[in-house]
Amino acid sequence: MWIVRLALRRPYTVVVLCIVIVVMGGLAFSRMVVDIFPAIDIPVVISVFQYPGLSAEEMEKRVIIVNERGQSTTVNGIERLESQSIEGIGILKTYFQPGTTIAAGVAQINAIAQTILRITPPGMQPPVLVQFNAGNVPVAQVAMGGEGWSEQQLFDYGLNFIRPRLFTIPGLSIPGPYGGKSAQVQVDIDPQKLAGYNVSPNDVVTALLNSNLILPAGTAKMGDTEYDIRLNSSPDTTDEFNKLPIKVVNGAPVLVGDVGNVHFGFAPQTNIVRVNGQRSTFLAILKHSEASTTTVVDAVRGLLPGVMAQAPPGLQLKVGFDQSVFVRAAIANVVREAVIATLLVSLMVLVFLGSWRSTLVVAISIPLSILVGIVALFLTDNSVNIMTLGGFALAIGMLVDDATVEVENIHRNRALGKPLTVAVLDSAAQIAVPAIVSTLSICIVFFPVLLLTGAAKYLFTPLAGAVVFSMLASYFLSRTLVPMMSRAILGGESPHGSAPPDHRPGALERFNRQRERAIDAVRDLYFAGLRRVMARRAFVLVCAAAIIGLSFLLLRAVGEDFFPTVDAGLIRLHVRAPAGTRLEATERIVADVEETVRGVIPPRDLDSISSNTGLPIFYNLAFVQSDNIGPQDTDMLISLHPEHGPTIEYIRELRRALPMRHPGIQFYFQAADIISQVLNFGLAAPIDIQVEGNNFALTFPIAQKLEGLIRSVPGTADVHIAQLMNYPTLNVQVDRLKAAQIGLSQKDVATSMLTSLAGSSLFAPNFWLNPKNLVNYFVVVQTPQPLVYDTRTLLESPLTAQNNGSIRTGRPGPSNIVVGRPGPVVATRLGDVAQMSRSIRPAVVNHYTVQRVIDILANVDRRDLGGVSAAIDRQVATLGKMPPGVAIRVRGQAQAMRSSFRGMGQGLVLAIALVYLLMVVNFQSWLDPLIIIMAVPGALAGILWMLAVSGSTLNVESFMGSIMAVGVAVANSILVVNFANDMRREGLSAFQAALEAGRVRFRPVVMTALAMIIGMLPMALALGEGGEQNAPLGRAVIGGLIAATVTTLFVVPVVYSLLRRKPPVSHELDARFAREIGERLEPDTL
């Protein structure tokens, strides 16, 4: 009470405090990050290894495994390791325990990687290390194009000139370009000319290394001047490479141009991007977890005009697939819902109180409470996102409650004839304890959020924080601002019954009287119903218990999901051609698929189609999750116009049409929107069943059988095995004895083959600095790919003995003399020392905690995730006991959902226990809290009915709504029981006290419930962009409060009248304590 008296004595202090809240809230809001989700601090370090030409299994065995073992024994704080090995590339993801210092982890990983290099394949470079977490997701694409710009030029300019400009944007990550052709100095050697000049590919490589140098020449002092000495160590143009000597034969130099052609070209293309049917190149824009999507995209858009102004003529840059559009719409929708809820709740208060002054008092307290919550979130390093805004929207109804109950009680006391100041003080005293207990009860029920794990913990802790901070602020304002404003502005109102006899009521007063009569009529109707219920107490309790018990059978019908599905207008389709399909053939398939997509999605809804075929620059795989493991794979991103039809319907139609029109091609859909990508946390699908075991001969048949079983589960879609096990391979078996007889070692054969087929950059890196743009380019010696078009041309590849550089054959003789050159030149071909056979091998090898795994992935359609997961568990059980060394594990959203539900369920039980204990402290009774909690089962039953009727599932959002509904139900029940106890102290029986409590507390209970219900209506209707996300939360609150209000007004009085036979003992305990003190003190005072 002291704080109420202080507020009444020092009104200017309260006003200044409110001004400070407004200023600090505005400053905090302006400086907070705005994004779709809170930051998810689950640190991951991704190590990307490259060794061109190394098969997936060799990459696994010689690079990935040794690094996994090294990290597992030396790096601290590791939660798990995941890896993927594909041809020439290895990706190792190190997941750390939450809260681990990521900088220390990076240092340890880098140190162990450097140490392990000595046992990896020769020439292996240290890995590229990238820090990552769930919030690092693509938020836009910058498409590059222009009249007269080739793919090579676009790739080169994007990599070397646009990326360095965009990197200056805070919170931005930007991998290398997708699509295009990587520029390099190409030395195309002709095998026939090499043989004719007695020159090997290694001779060309050595000549280039010796003639294209990066070495200074020093300085010379001549007289009074010191000169820098500059040699022509590196050619100034690519054409000068053709004039470099390789060797001298009989006094005649053999030049590079004699055996090949040097030109500024490009590496063999491994990645093709198509945008709206045309080849293109784009840069993916990623944001850091703590960065704002809208800020990053706005900064990119602001920087691009300056980039284009400085670029060569014709370059066009366009931002596409902009996720900030959805983020802005979702944030604006939540804000709009909160504003509408505030207006509706204020209107409801006006209707119940009939006073614009009282409504103004209540309405002012709402934004002030929210501003305090914003300041608290800012100080705790939270952001403005749909979770925190959803928390404020959820709290609006309860923010009204504290002020409304206070104002309504002031009106009641004034109606008793008390002066305004006395009425304010008495009102504050009467509801002080129930108000603080109610507020703390609602805060306590959010305790389960602290028991969440994984991404759910980071998603819902800020929501709970927004509710708790604003609720505590609301209670504080109800003790300070509300009494002060009530005393200041309610004096102009006449209390009920105080008007003079000759007073003529105005229109507003007549309306208020009619409103009061209507409310009194409803209350009288309720009171009559309560009397009838109290007359049949046993029957009512049995019926209530039966209805509530049967309602819990709806759990199976409602179903379970981890998170509501959101329609962001994006579709991500993966297209997989038969294993080993070359890049150009896959592009033709993709073009046909794009036409099918255009036929399914009408032009009015289709915005753009972007297809990404093959593998980009190796380090790009660390930034963006992709199922592309080779030239046969394509990720297709389809964007719809803002006003589009239901995305899921287009997905279902494509899922039906694509396999029919393109037989032999595999199709499946993946998470496209930012919300699903964050929740999947790098996984391609919500359901991931892993068959773990190092022997593919055992695990792959099990995976195939399990795939068939999962396909039979209703509600599954896009079921497929992630790994390709049938990638075509040509095995070259070298006869080492025959090769040794003609002076060739296995290393000679391998080096010559690598130079011819993959280029010399791996074992002999050489660079040329372009003096025009100051960019270093690889100088690569390689046989042009068109010259190796079948096994015959492959077997004719020349081989080199590195000891003498000659080209020799296994059968020397006159027939091997090359005409036009002096002396015998003996040509050795691959086919002279090796045989070739065909086989298949894994195209990709995945590890989970250093064990090989095969993933069976599946989406969910027309059914809840929990039901599908349970059915899959039953199918897995039919497989029986696994062979030794084989295990089956469930991952993905199903695992996260079960973990979150388990934590929240345990926390909810604990929260109810804590609320019960809090009420025991307040009422000094074990019985009264038990009576109060009788409202909770009714709330839970109402939640299930509302979810079932609205077609929503039990998910983390509806779970949060359930928590709020339980808190409000307890708070309202406290009002009834507390007033009934007061009546018992005045001498009423339990029966009479229960009736009177129901009658007097009808209005505040209904007002509180209606405030929450009306406040949640905009959210529950999900009318705006992204509204589907928070809709289950609003629906759970509405359903829970409708049933809880009925339970509070009818069942709780019945239970009270039956159980509370003796008067409350709290005042008797005080009296007994006083008597005991007096008895002890009395002898001392004599």
* 830 vs 36: which has the higher pLDDT: 830
Which DSSP state fits 619? G
Instruction: Render 126-183 in DSSP notation, one character per residue.
Output: PPEEEEE-TT--EEEEEEEE-TT--HHHHHHHIIIIIHHHHTTSTTEE--PPEES--E
1021 within 8 A of 1030, measured Cβ to Cβ: no
Span 821-859, pLDDT tens digits: 444 434 478 888 999 999 999 999 999 989 999 999 999
Q: φ, ψ for residue 774 (rounded to 5)?
A: 60, 35
- Residue 1071 C-beta-side C-alpha neighbours within 13 Å: 5
Say what the pLDDT of residue 716 is: 94
Supply the DSSP string of 476-530, one letter for each residue. Answer: HHHHTHHHHHHHHHGGGSPPTT-S-TT----HHHHHHHHHHHHHHHHHHHHHHHH
Quick check: 706 pLDDT over 90?
yes
Pick 673 or 773 by higher pLDDT. 773
At 820 the pLDDT is 39
Rounded mean pLDDT of 443-466?
80
List the one residue out of 835, 624, 879, 622 whose CA is nearest residue 738: 835
Is residue 262 scored above 80 in pLDDT? yes
Q: Binning pLDDT at 50, 70 and 90, where does residue 343 land?
A: confident
Partner residues linked to 278 by β-bridges = 275
pLDDT for res 94: 93
For residue 825, the model assigns a pLDDT of 38
**479-507 pLDDT per residue, tens:** 888 888 888 887 766 555 455 555 566 56
Span 513-539, pLDDT tens digits? 787 788 888 889 999 999 999 989 899
Span 991-1005, pLDDT tens digits: 999 999 898 888 888
What is the overall mean pLDDT for the chain?
85
Rounded distance between C-alpha atoms, residue 937 and residue 546, angstroms: 11
pTM score: 0.84
| Domains in the chain: ranges and CATH | 1-31+345-495 (1.20.1640.10), 183-212+226-266+729-841 (3.30.2090.10), 569-672 (3.30.70.1430)
Task: Show Cβ contacts of residue 125 under 8 Å, excluding neighbours closer than 6 positions.
Answer: 50
pLDDT of 808 = 42
pLDDT band at 391 (very low <50, low <70, confident <90, very high): confident
Higher pLDDT, 715 or 342: 715
What is the Cα–Cα distance from 807 to 798, expressed in whole angstroms? Answer: 8
pLDDT higher than threshold 50 for residue 805: no
Q: What is the pLDDT of residues 889-934, one digit of tens each?
A: 988 788 888 888 887 788 778 888 888 888 888 778 888 889 988 9
Where b means 16+ CB within 10 Å and e means fewer, 44-80 reads bbbbbbbbeebbbbbbbebbbbbbbebbeeebebbee
C-alpha 691/C-alpha 688 separation (Å) is 10
Question: In terms of Cα–Cα distance, which of 679, 684, 564, 585 is closest to 631?
Answer: 585
Confidence of residue 424 (pLDDT cuts 50, 70, 90): confident
Q: Write down the residue that tokens 């993966």 correspond to.
A: 574
Residues 94 and 47 sit within 8 Å (Cβ to Cβ): yes
Share of the chain above pLDDT 70, in %: 92
Percentage of the chain surpassing pLDDT 90?
A: 35
* pLDDT for the residue 1082: 46
The distance from CA 804 to its chain's CA centroid, rounded to whole angstroms, is 59
880-908 burial, b at 16+ Cβ within 10 Å, e below that, comes to eebeeebebeebbbbbbbbbbbebbeebb
Task: Give the pLDDT confidence score for residue 393 in this predicted structure.
Answer: 79
- Least confident interval from 69-78, 407-416, 502-511, 553-562: 502-511
Residues 299-329 have pLDDT tens digits of 999 999 999 988 888 898 999 888 888 788 8
pLDDT at 722: 93
Contact 627, 684 (CB under 8 A): yes
- Residues making up the chain, counted from first to last: 1086
Provide the 3-class DSSP secondary structure of residue 632: coil
Greatest C-alpha distance within the chain: 140
Between strands 633-640 and 278-287, the pairing is unpaired
Q: Residue 915: its pLDDT value, please?
A: 84
**CA-wise closest residue to 385 among 711, 792, 656, 33:** 33
In this prediction, residues 736-756 reach a mean pLDDT of 85
Is the pLDDT confidence value at 815 over 60?
A: no
pLDDT at 750 over 80: yes
CA gap 480, 484 in Å, rounded = 6
Q: Which residue has the higher pLDDT, 849 or 191?
A: 849
